[in-house]
Amino acid sequence: MKVYLDHASTTPVDKNVMEKMLPYFSGIFGNASNLYSFGREAKKAVDISRQEVAKTLNCKDSEIYFTSGGTESDNFAIFGYCRQNKHKGNRIITTKIEHHGVLKVFKALEKEGFDVVYLDVNQDGILELETFKKVINDKTIFVSVMFANNEIGTIQPIKKIGELCKEKNIVFHTDAVQAIGAQKIDVKELNIDLLSLSAHKFYGPKGVGALYIKSGIKMERLIVGGAQERNMRGGTTNTPLIVGLGEAIRAARESIEKNNSHNIALRDRLIKRVLTEIPYSKLNGHSKMRLSNNANFSFEFIEGESILMMLDINGIAVATGSACSSGSLEPSHVLLACGVPIEVAHGSIRLTIGKSNTIEEIDFTVDTLKTVIEKLRKMSPLFKPQRGENIHV
């Protein structure tokens, strides 16, 4: 059995999405910027996608800008707003658990003279409003807080953050890359000024995304070149991928309830079985305020990478709570920010469910995981069950 449980990393392209995209690679190949019919046909398809994104977020079509994905949208939102509006103040705020597409931009802006605050989160990975309120001063111009975390699935109190930002006249960006398809997002109701999304997280193609920019917000361009995207992002319009994004977001919007109830049923079965059947296991992230498809566990006394590899041998794909950087394994900055001890963070894995997963696959995964963990603990010098403790590991 082959089981894919890493949908937070990427999802397969839906068949319908593929079919919609295909004509735009070769048949309807025109450059969407050209005025003759070949170009107009391509532009029409791009316009339809823009409408689909706008409908999903409840904004105007003219507030959507296509990009190459989540990373570019994050870069565009943060560099674009902060550099353009530096004269208004230099304090900018984010959290310690953002994706690197956000965190590294803040690091770069620190070098440009911005006063950056990286907020702590609580042990469930949630930003507490009091923590946020304390660091707002009259120089604060910008805040970026992710909608939902890619590692532990924790969903932030976005509405409250948006309200506070509006009250204090601070521009609010949210990285919603993991949330589209799982959370209904109305940018007006939530007071969101800038929002990043990426198609490959909701059964669309890789390499395409969008940034919502509320009308009236002044931004510096990130990609300098031609006048595409209303003069905000140079580069020939990627019609096929944009068509794919449009179809994928339409499907994600229309099947949000169905997908969520499918994912929640499997996720809850997975969590329940793991926590009751595997000793020294712990769920990371908030038990309720979490994405419908996310389960992140720590297993004491063993390494996440060994679990990943042994599961892979059994045909199961999951992610770990560490990232390979410069030859050494760094424990996840997200887990550390939640107060998970380094050695426990090293023994963490993330399983993210998708719409094609089945109960049989979840049961097969838990059964395999039990055997794998038992084997690894037997080999682990760190694992010494308490005397008299009668656990089967």
Give the catalytic positions in this structure: 324
CB closer to ligand PLP, 323 vs 359: 323
Nearest-angstrom CA–CA distance, 256 and 262: 10
Nearest-angstrom CA–CA distance, 114 and 271: 42
CB closer to ligand PLP, 165 vs 334: 334
How far, in whole angstroms, is CA 39 from its chain's centroid?
33
Nearest-angstrom CA–CA distance, 117 and 96: 9
Binding mask 22-61 for ligand PLP (x = CB under 6 A): ----------------------------------------
Structure tokens at 342: 């380094």
Residue in 156, 198, 294, 352 binding ligand PLP, rule: CB under 6 A: 198
# residues contacting ligand PLP (CB under 6 A) = 13
Residue in 30, 89, 101, 125 binding ligand PLP, rule: CB under 6 A: 101
Q: Segment contacting ligand PLP (CB under 6 A): 65-73, 215-223, 260-268, 336-344?
A: 65-73
Residue in 70, 125, 153, 331 binding ligand PLP, rule: CB under 6 A: 70
Residue 71 interacts with ligand PLP (CB under 6 A): yes or no:
yes
Q: What angle do CA 80, 85, 88 make, to 5 degrees?
A: 155
Q: Segment contacting ligand PLP (CB under 6 A): 50-58, 175-183, 228-236, 279-287?
A: 175-183
Contact 244, 208 (CB under 8 A): yes
Residue 144 interacts with ligand PLP (CB under 6 A): yes or no:
no
Give burial (CB, 10 Å; 0-12/13-18/19+) of 136. middle
Neighbours of 162 (CB within 10 A): 21
Q: Which DSSP letter does residue 35 get?
A: S
In angstroms, what is the minimal distance from the CB of 134 to ligand PLP?
Answer: 25
In angstroms, what is the minimal distance from the CB of 221 to ligand PLP?
Answer: 19
Q: Segment contacting ligand PLP (CB under 6 A): 41-49, 64-72, 156-164, 325-333?
A: 64-72
Instruction: Please name the residues in contact with 365: beta carbons below 8 A apart, sequence gap of 6 or more.
Output: 3, 5, 270, 311, 316, 351
Residue in 56, 85, 95, 150 binding ligand PLP, rule: CB under 6 A: 150
Residue in 209, 244, 285, 331 binding ligand PLP, rule: CB under 6 A: 209
Instruction: Please name the residues in contact with 111: beta carbons below 8 A apart, sequence gap of 6 or more.
Output: none
CB closer to ligand PLP, 78 vs 373: 78
Bridge partners of 190?
A: none
| Count of positions (residues) in the chain | 393
Nearest-angstrom CA–CA distance, 314 and 369: 10
Residue 337 interacts with ligand PLP (CB under 6 A): yes or no:
no
In angstroms, what is the minimal distance from the CB of 311 to ligand PLP?
Answer: 20
Q: Segment contacting ligand PLP (CB under 6 A): 68-76, 216-224, 259-267, 357-365?
A: 68-76
294-331: b or e for each residue (b if 16 or more CB lie within 10 Å)? bbbbbbbbbbbbbbbebbeebebbbbbbbeeeeeeeeb
Q: Segment contacting ligand PLP (CB under 6 A): 173-181, 230-238, 286-294, 310-318?
A: 173-181
CB closer to ligand PLP, 146 vs 373: 146
CB closer to ligand PLP, 124 vs 175: 175
Residue in 116, 146, 256, 274 binding ligand PLP, rule: CB under 6 A: 146
For residue 238, what are the CA distances in angstroms to 42, 179, 314, 390?
10, 24, 38, 60
CB closer to ligand PLP, 70 vs 331: 70
For residue 236, what are the CA distances in angstroms to 27, 47, 213, 223, 249?
17, 15, 20, 12, 22
Binding site for ligand PLP (CB under 6 A): 69-71, 74, 99, 101, 146, 150, 175, 177-178, 198, 209
